[in-house]
Chain A
Amino acid sequence: MSSRPKVEALGYKSGPISETKGPYATTNAAGSAYAPGSLLTVEHLSVADVAEILASATRLERMAAAERARVLVDRTVALLFYESSTRTRTSFELAAKSLGVTTTLVSDKSSSIEKGESLKDTGLTLRALGAEAIILRHPASGAPFLLARVTGLPVLNAGDGMHQHPSQALLDLRTILIRLGLGGAASHVSDTRHGAPSSAAINEKTLAGVTVVIAGDIRHSRVARSNAMLLPRLGARVVLCGPPELLPEEALGLNAYLDANASGSPAIEIERDFDVALRSATVVMMLRIQKERLEGTALDLAEYVERYQLHGARLVALAPRALVMHPGPIIRGLEITGEVADGPQSAIEEQVAQGLAVRRAVLVRALGERA
């Protein structure tokens, strides 16, 4: 993250003092204040880390089920969910079980969290019970950082507020690579004649020439932030699309944390006109729109649907070859029509399947494989 503005930029040097936290701590940009294997934000992942995770996903996918079930046998992971979830929770759970991990699920609805137990104490309790890593879904942005700091355990962020959903961005990336046949994608699909995938196949240029349009409620979307902060680092151009109420200009501030792309222009752009954005799209990611988020804005639902819904006619006319993605849950007939979601350009189900592969890899990364 070479372009990341640091506190030092203001002229305040960190002193030679240890055991400090906050802006004068000697380190935190690299995430080294957290246990190795933590996955809190895609910003902590180097391109080499990403390559390794994808290669590991492929390797684990190719393993015989019985062998895979021994990779993390007798290890314990807690799933701590403060928000409801279908895809992410099931996917993490199945990924863990397929590796032999013992999992336990704690949700805010059926635990002492209801009695007011803090995130810190909940985390310490899980650690005391033997959890070696915690998978956290939480409505407050930044909660996984807190949990990782207070428990010292590897924490896998399964979605925090409006902030990040790193495993989603990784599974989206894997889906894109496979569907577009990029980055030595042949080695990502199971059962190929090639040997182990070369992690060198993923680099800063892997997605060069690929334009990813992310459309909808960017403001409230952790999926949008995660993809926008990950894909450009592999060379993609990201175009954010939505009305100002759901896509504020500040979003362009993300560029300060990314290197400019090969042509020297910022990695992330805003295009308000969905039709214009679609014309350049290699990939179009649709985001769920929540009716209540439109209330009090200048936009009504009918107008939103008119301008931003991805429907068959629009797709055929403007992006007939683009890959259609959606992190779910889908509201059919709102941001996307059923025919498009179920159509040949859709990778929506594949995304879900890739979730399993990627989450196995991040679990192995968090727990460390048995020698």
Chain B
Amino acid sequence: MSELLILNGHVVDPAQGVDAPRDVLVRDGRVAAVEPPGALASLADSLPKELQIDAAGCVVAPGLIDIHVHLREPGQTHKETIATGTAAAAAGGFTTVVAMPNTTPVNDSVERLRWMLAAERHPLIHLLAMPAATFGSNGCEITDFDALVRAGAVGFTDDGKPVLEDDVMRAALTAAAALDVPVSQHAEDTRLTSGCSMNLGPVAFRLGLRGMPAEAEARIVERDLLLLREMERADHVRPHLHVQHVSTALALRAIRAAKKAGLYVTCEAAPHHFTLTDEAIGDYDTNAKMNPPLRAEADRRALVDALLDGTVDCIATDHAPHASHEKEVEFDRAPNGITGLETALGLALRVLHREHGMTLSHVLQLMSARPAEVLRLRGRGDLRVGSDADVVVFDAGEEWNFAVKDSRSKSKNSPFDGAPMLGRVHATVCAGRVVYRA
């Protein structure tokens, strides 16, 4: 029997509506008790100090869940490994991450999925995976959804690329609906974005870079929503579409309307999209290059509004590590993506909570309870007795500046070097084990 006691903290558990001083007892990897101060006092006396976390002045919340990360293993381990990526995640307060399939080779078979999820990869926290929706993520033929779900897949995506063909997307949605998992779409009409390296607009014009129009994102979202509508009506199935990293007012409007109409659509937002605009590219900073790109201020505001009004279901980082030599090249040749696991909470609290008045509970819901719901993860994203003992302990008022040199990720490609953060993780507990301690 292994025990851990988290004392003197303030529990915020959005799933249960708890927002009060509570002590948390963890036993054998599960939440054993959440009690008002004093109730676990006798245990505290008997338990050795190293099995206790003093959370005085801190928030104690369900471990964060990131349903969109790139851990680069297999095949690109010079950028990141499952071990280093999950270590960065733990430092950022995450206890579950979902690995995207664009590894080398692409994760499109049961064998590769099993390899990725094996204990030999040494994930520090819970690792889940979304395999490719199509073989090689080539957008042509869907993978064996049934076998992959039995092997642990929590959804399907060709992330980095869209599933462009209507027929293929329809087949993917049909197969996923039968298995009750989402198809997660990277919404980009690549016919409109060829040769583009940033957002279309005045900044791109000034920098002489080709820009991606907002329509490229909105068009795929609208096409997918049309498919959902058709399939509900004609085929009597209710597929779940999850839209990744929404970045434009145009796409958010379509998603909001579809939700109102009752379609099964969810979506995620990345911290960099609600924090920065394309102005952050400055003098061609490749650490401000990702896809979808940083957008205009009107889009950023629309994203904040959609987070506040519930149109956006969860925050996901799209953590995308790249080696410095890969980023230290001409802007239009640099790979897309930035790291994000260690800055997500600090940015969400600073931008959404402090600057836009989102409640702490809502922020945490977007980072734990809701992503767990989106992927139907039972016993995750809450602190119910019996749930996985995944806990983050953080000082919600602590101001600090992120220093990329201190990152646990193998890569340092972050535009947030030196950026002010609000809220600092003091400890992360995953399945009852302390996986990070400040």
Contacts and interface: CB of A to CB of B under 8 A. Distances in A.
Nearest to B285: A22
Interface core residue of B201, B282, B420 (most chain A CB under 10 Å)? B282
Contact of A256 (B202, B275, B282, B300): B202
B206 A142 contact: no
Interface in B201-246: 201-209, 211
Interface string A132-169: 00000010111101100010000000001111100000
Interface in B386-438: 401, 403, 414-420
B332 A141 contact: yes
Contact of A146 (B204, B206, B277, B330): B330
Interface stretch (A6-14, A64-72, A323-331): A6-14
Nearest to A82: B330
A318 B380 CA distance: 74
A244 interface: no
Nearest to A140: B330
Contact of B208 (A119, A120, A163): A163
Nearest to B197: A141
Interface string B325-353: 10011111100000000000000000000
Interface size class of A (residues with CB under 8 A): 35 or more
Nearest to B401: A15
A11 B355 contact: yes
Contacts of A252: 202
Interface core residue of A12, A17, A160, A163 (most chain B CB under 10 Å)? A12
B418 A17 contact: yes
A120 B288 contact: no
B264 interface: no
A3 B92 CA distance: 37
A20 B328 contact: no
A12 B208 contact: no
A141 B284 contact: yes
B415 A22 contact: yes
A181 interface: no
Interface size class of B (residues with CB under 8 A): 35 or more
Contacts of B297: 10
Given A10-B297, A17-B418, A28-B282, A250 B202 contact: yes
Contact of A145 (B283, B355, B420): B283
Contacts of B420: 12-13, 15
B332 A140 contact: yes
Given A20-B417, A250-B204, A150 B332 contact: no
Contacts of A248: 205
A130 interface: no
Contacts of B208: 141-142, 160-164, 222, 225
A254 B328 contact: no
A253 interface: yes
Contacts of A14: 418
Contacts of A140: 330-333
A25 interface: yes
Contacts of B401: 15, 17
B205 A250 contact: yes
Contact of A142 (B203, B284, B419): B284
A17 B287 contact: no
A104 interface: no
B202 A7 contact: no
Interface in B268-303: 275-277, 279-280, 282-285, 287-288, 297, 300
B163 interface: no
Contact of A120 (B209, B284, B329): B329
A161 B205 CA distance: 12
Interface in B96-146: none
A253 B417 contact: no
Nearest to A254: B206
A146 B332 CA distance: 12
Nearest to B206: A254
Contacts of A315: none
Contacts of A150: 328
A70 B127 CA distance: 68
B200 interface: yes
Contacts of B416: 22, 24
Contact of B207 (A11, A21, A142): A142
A201 interface: no
Given A23-B276, A250-B201, A138 B330 contact: yes
A148 to B, nearest CB: 9
A141 B419 contact: no
Contact of B288 (A6, A13, A22): A22
A23 B416 CA distance: 7
Contact of B284 (A5, A145, A256): A145
Interface string A266-299: 0000000000000000000000000000000000
A162 B331 CA distance: 13
A143 B416 CA distance: 22
Interface of B: 200-209, 211, 275-277, 279-280, 282-285, 287-288, 297, 300, 325, 328-333, 355, 401, 403, 414-420
25 contacts: A7-B279, A7-B282, A10-B297, A12-B420, A15-B418, A20-B418, A21-B285, A22-B285, A22-B418, A23-B282, A24-B415, A24-B417, A24-B418, A25-B418, A138-B330, A140-B332, A143-B330, A222-B208, A225-B208, A229-B206, A250-B204, A250-B211, A253-B203, A254-B202, A254-B205
